[in-house]
Structure 1
Amino acid sequence: MASSDASAAFAPSVFRHRDFRLYQLARLCAVLAVQIESVAIGWQVYELTGSALALGYTGLAQFLPFLAFSIVGGQVADRVDRRTILAVCQGVMLLCSLLLLSFSLGHIQDVRFVYGVLVLFGTARAFHAPAGSAITPHLVPTEDLTRAIALNSTTWQVATIAGPAVGGVLYGWAGATGAYIGSVLLCALSVVWILSLKVRTGRASSESFSLSTLLAGFRFVHRQRLLLGSITLDLFAVLLGGAVALLPIYARDVLHTGPWGLGLLRSAPAVGAAVVAVLLAFRPLGGRAGWKMFVSVAIFGAATLVFGVSRSLPLSIVALAVAGAADMVSVVVRHTLELVSTPDEMRGRVGAVNTMCIGASNELGEFRAGAFAEQVGAVPAVVLGAVGTLGVVALWAWAFPELRRVDHLEEAARQPLPEDAGPAVSSTAS
């Protein structure tokens, strides 16, 4: 009875805001499209090349432009209306889906065309991610922000669960063409929902463009030890322990399944993460949040290790689901610290630092996994990466004792900056 009352209080308080509802629809469609494409691209590239390194290049093709433009994207997000940025970026992502569809219809066998599209997609995401992260506080009042953040994560996880499964089914039924048609339709819907938003965030920062303001996000994160520790812990843990790029190899050569099995494997981490996201929306982490974060990242590494040595599809799915569930705790801690402790005029640039680190851990991690697997094999690459993740947890627990000692997130995030951080904050707030 209590949980149903909580649910009733939770949903209307956030969904009564029209722009927030539309933004969630746009995010749902966009993430679904990306996940469907990821399954199709992974299976298609491995089918054409049979190379783990080729799979790694799909991550590198997205990461390099993301790295090059993320900080500029954060600067733009603080100076240009964020709804306009999102609309343009979603339009570019729609173009990427159309290009992938045309390559499939034209029976183009050269995977370099796919890499080219991924470079364009990575560029669009570099501008989209900071603007998307910074727009949420404009869609709901302050008292609903925590619920909105939790629901943002839930929407993303739902799409990440459904997208790979749908992509696997579409690929198995109609090949890459069917999967890309689905992503085109979803991207088009996402553009429509973004254009329907009434919110206009305007220019959040009045500072002139300079190298100093460009790097302000790095200075802010560096001085916020809790934020620095949480972001870099996630960065190196996933950079080493991520196994997503190698899932096509595991599906076909280790677990002996097809595109539908690949879809299930890609969906499994999101299933675990979604369960934890819903639980945290109604039952926050509470006390000892820092300690819980370190434990959860250690569980992520251990679950990845189990996946690495598994030869059973059900066990592999469970291991990936546990890894996703554990990773969600880290996501909630990091994102709560970021949004609550960052002033609005800095959210784009700080969000750019965060999303650049996420891109490094995911896309660069895919390249690391693919390149390593090319040399030692897929299974040793996953196992050694998981061991590396466990080592990172131990090292960060020693290097960031203040993060380990965090009790309640809201109180920790609202602590004032150290005195030596004053000039950086005052310059960006002027």
Structure 2
Amino acid sequence: MSFASGPSRWSDVWLVTAARGTSTCGDFLAASALTLALQSAGAGGLAVSGLMLAATVPLVALAPLTGRLADRVDSRLLLVVAGLAQAAICLALAYAGHPVLVIALVALLAAGLAVTQPVLSALVPAMVRTEDMPRASALNQTAGTLGALAGPALAGVLVGEFGARLPLLLDAGSYLALVAAGLLIRTRRGGSRGRVTTAGTVGAPPTVTWRLRRDPLLVAMVATIAGVIAAVGAINVVEVFFIRETLGSSTTMYGLVTGSWTLGILVGAWLFARLARRLTDDGRLLVGYLALLGGCCLMILLSAAVPTALLLVPVWLLGGVGNGGANVFDNVLLARRVPEAARGRAYAALSGSVQGASMVGFLLGGLLLEVAGPRFLVAACGVAGLLVIALVVPPVTRAIRAERAVEGDDRARSTDPSAAPAEPATGAELATPVPSR
């Protein structure tokens, strides 16, 4: 697949990293502030899950459109316009009082995120060489993790001292980082004038017929992460009641505990970035991905047994390490196997699948809290996630074997002078031929 043809442009990577970290901090700050405000006002699980659904539905519903936008419209234009719109929406959200208006504004905010996510994700591989992709992915994971780490912790302190308005105002300011990044980043994608590579050359965007369903390994990866998130996603609704009510902790402790998982993501991203660079075989990369997701689910299961919130910190820290490694692995796998001109659609498809699965988890969390206690539900999430991993192992194994069989046939054909010549590859082909589904 197409990466940077010249030296990696690390200045652009750092700009994307800074923009992602700042905007992610604002996102988590606002989400945690609104969640805590609802819980403190006496709202139940359905209200919290409703808020989360409003922040998720646009990411799923708009994924086909925003993926195409990321591939066809100038990335600078998209980042600047979306960043300004999100800042204005968040400013309005800080002064919104009616719950219906709050939910509507949260949904609009998520619509902007549905645009910026695939744009930023697809820009990174165009900035670096193939061998630098794990490091660039780890840098972006670090930025997102630091933002997600700071956001809940700041929300816990600020909501307790000033209420929900100040965090929302800070979130509005954080979106201006996207505007600055859009104006300063030299690498650009999309637009009628073609794609500007990290070497500064301009070329017409190729016609690409890439389809996710044609790649069994990517189908297996997306199905696995979607299944696991659907199984354990209820934890996002349950955790505030588990930490605040079952374990009797303060809003500050809530921020500390949720931040421990994101800190683990930071550690895991760098621990596994070097391993991802060495795993040149995509099948092994996918196996490692499954193992890391299984570790995350195991830590969720163990967390149900803790007697105090403080003991959740080391357990969730380990869970976050697996989460961070899995994030690097799936980003590298996607970047390797998808043509450059289709990466916006690919990242949007991955994001849409993940967010759609999250919606299932949010809805289940709100409903199940009406009939079961938080501790039981935390344990159930861990068990459900492990069951999903067990169920996907056989189809993943078959997909890996099928791909290796095709690779073996191709190698044999290339070394056999009597064999018919293979059809020439085009820019629309996958990096490694795989059987069609």
TM-score range, shorter chain: 0.7 to 0.9
Q: Quick one: percent identity of the two aligned structures?
A: 23
Shift of 1:283: 4.4
Match of 1:304 among 295, 300, 307: 300
Residue matched to 1:244: 236
Shift of 1:84: 1.6
Residue matched to 1:17: 10
Q: Which amino acid aligns with 1:418?
A: V
Kept in 1: contact 2:54–2:104 (CA 8 A): yes
In the TM superposition, what whole-angstrom CA distance separates every residue of 1:391-428 from its partner, at most 9, and x where no partner exists?
101100022214677999xx99985222547xxxxxxx
Residue matched to 1:231: 222
Structure number with higher helix proportion: 1
User: SS state of the match for residue 78, structure 1?
Assistant: helix
* Greater alpha carbon shift after TM alignment, 39-48 vs 369-378: 369-378
Shift of 1:236: 1.1
Larger radius of gyration: 2
Shift of 1:20: 2.3
After TM superposition, the structure 1 = structure 2 runs for residues 179-190 of structure 1, keeping only pairs within 5 Å, are 179-190=167-178
Supply the RMSD in Å over aligned alpha carbons.
2.8
Aligned length: 393
| 2:58 corresponds to 1:65 | yes
After TM superposition, the structure 1 = structure 2 runs for residues 111-126 of structure 1, keeping only pairs within 5 Å, are 111-126=99-114
Residue matched to 1:79: 72
Kept in 2: contact 1:241–1:301 (CA 8 A): yes
| 2:154 corresponds to 1:166 | yes
Q: Which amino acid aligns with 2:104?
A: G
In the TM superposition, what whole-angstrom CA distance separates every residue of 1:110-168 from its partner, at most 9, and x where no partner exists?
42222111211221122222212111133334553332122111211121112211222
Shift of 1:26: 1.1
Residue matched to 1:136: 124
Q: Distance in 1 between matches of 2:59 and 2:297?
A: 26
Q: Distance in 1 between matches of 2:160 and 2:58?
A: 31
Kept in 1: contact 2:152–2:258 (CA 8 A): yes
Residue matched to 2:290: 294
Q: Which amino acid aligns with 1:176?
A: A
Residue matched to 1:353: 349
Match of 1:281 among 263, 269, 273: 273
Q: Distance in 2 between matches of 1:224 and 1:157?
A: 30
Residue matched to 1:267: 259
Shift of 1:356: 0.5
Q: Which amino acid aligns with 2:319?
A: A
After TM superposition, the structure 1 = structure 2 runs for residues 26-425 of structure 1, keeping only pairs within 5 Å, are 26-103=19-96, 108=97, 110-203=98-191, 220-242=211-233, 243-284=235-276, 286=278, 288-402=284-398, 416-418=432-434, 420=436
Structure 2: 5+ residue stretches without partners: 1-6, 196-203, 409-428
Shift of 1:290: 3.7
Shift of 1:185: 2.5
Given the two structures, how large is their TM-score scaled by the length of structure 2? Answer: 0.82
In structure 2, relative to structure 1, the CA distance for the partners of 1:403 and 1:374 (3 Å cut) is farther
Given the two structures, how large is their TM-score scaled by the length of structure 1? Answer: 0.83
Shift of 1:206: 5.6
Kept in 2: contact 1:277–1:328 (CA 8 A): yes
In the TM superposition, what whole-angstrom CA distance separates every residue of 1:264-306 from its partner, at most 9, and x where no partner exists?
1221211111111111234447454443332222221121112
Q: Which amino acid aligns with 1:251?
A: I
In structure 2, relative to structure 1, the CA distance for the partners of 1:347 and 1:22 (3 Å cut) is same
Shift of 1:237: 0.7
In structure 2, relative to structure 1, the CA distance for the partners of 1:180 and 1:189 (3 Å cut) is same
Residue matched to 1:425: none
Residue matched to 2:423: none
User: SS state of the match for residue 78, structure 2?
Assistant: helix
Q: Distance in 1 between matches of 2:82 and 2:360?
A: 22
Q: Distance in 1 between matches of 2:92 and 2:83?
A: 14
